[in-house]
Amino acid sequence: MPELPEVETVRRGLTNLVAGRTVESTEVRWEKIVGGLTAEEFDQALRNQTILKIDRRGKYLLFRFTGDITMVSHLRMEGSYYTVPAGTEPGKHDLVTFHLDHGVDLFYRDTRKFGRMNIVPNDQVMTVAGLATIGPEPTESDLTIDYMISEFGKSKMHVKPFLLNQNHIAGLGNIYVDETLWQSKIHPLTSANQLTVEELTILRKNIIAELARATEHHGTTVHSFTNVFGNAGEFQNELEVYGRVGEPCLRCGTPLIKTKVAQRGTTYCPVCQVERTK
């Protein structure tokens, strides 16, 4: 699933390609994608509306249109956008076409069909499922140490699933949770409320820095992620633990091991990330 750096990379590309363009019409080939609307209702909502800008909140893209409406797009596992010349025949997995002015079509492709689009009035964006309870952005200004101390202190949940829960911090997924826990020398099975203020301070710093660095490298391509120009990310070349099971820890040389935590594959160093007793 694209995490914050990948979604931000998509947002930046879409801004360059389609911001300021007007939707002349749409075609929907899989109605479950479009949030309970029929293909005709979806088309009526967006027809002749102009894309003013594209924002992001966590892993959600927010297409801001004229008419005081926003299309909330969640890519889920495999969703992606790309532009083609008008009249290009859509492929098997191109589920939505936005026919834009000036001879451009925007395709939404989703091999797994898990993505979703919801059109809502601007003042109702934060009522969309997922956004209504989303945690702060992992930035210096939004993710404060006071928030970390308060939020982590309330939970006995293991820190890995705690971080994966978007209600606590927005945008983190399996890759960057493994990376930042290793950087912070925290075992993934540590209870959130066991972390000290010092550990939370280090973890906060690493989360903010890692996601910013991954964004600068245009995200991570492990399986299929590409940006709107069809290019893979670059951050997979910078990963320190994810995907390196059996290889030496870059800090101590111990072979990295992999286990399941909350049903998610988890790579860590058994020496640097010591499991603490209850």
Q: What is the pLDDT of residues 14-69, one digit of tens each?
A: 999 999 999 999 999 999 999 889 999 999 999 999 999 999 999 999 999 999 99
What domains are defined for the chain?
4-127 (3.20.190.10), 145-268 (1.10.8.50)
* Catalytic site residue from 29, 251, 258, 264: 264
13 contacts: CB under 8 Å, gap ≥ 6: 81, 227, 228, 229
- Whether 59 is a known active-site residue: answer yes
Of 62-71, 230-239, 246-255, 265-274, least confident by mean pLDDT is: 230-239
Contact status, residue 134 vs residue 58, Cβ threshold 8 Å: yes
Q: Which of 209, 212, 216 is nearest to 233 (CA)?
A: 216
d(CA 269, CA 183): 10
pLDDT at 207 over 70: yes
pLDDT at 227 over 90: no
pLDDT-derived band at 1 (thresholds 50, 70, 90) equals: confident
d(CA 221, CA 219): 7
Q: What tens digit of pLDDT does each residue of 79-110 get?
A: 999 999 999 999 999 999 999 999 999 999 99
* Catalytic site residue from 59, 109, 204, 244: 59
Of 27-36, 150-159, 224-233, least confident by mean pLDDT is: 224-233
pLDDT value for 252: 98
Backbone angles phi, psi at 232, to 5 degrees: -75, 160
204 is in an annotated binding site: no
pLDDT at 194 over 70: yes
pLDDT-derived band at 137 (thresholds 50, 70, 90) equals: very high
Q: What is the mean pLDDT of the chain?
A: 95
d(CA 89, CA 245): 42
* Catalytic site residue from 3, 6, 210, 240: 3
Contact status, residue 262 vs residue 276, Cβ threshold 8 Å: no
112 is in an annotated binding site: yes
- Whether 3 is a known active-site residue: answer yes
Of 93-102, 226-235, 240-249, least confident by mean pLDDT is: 226-235
Strand-pairing partners, residue 80, are 109
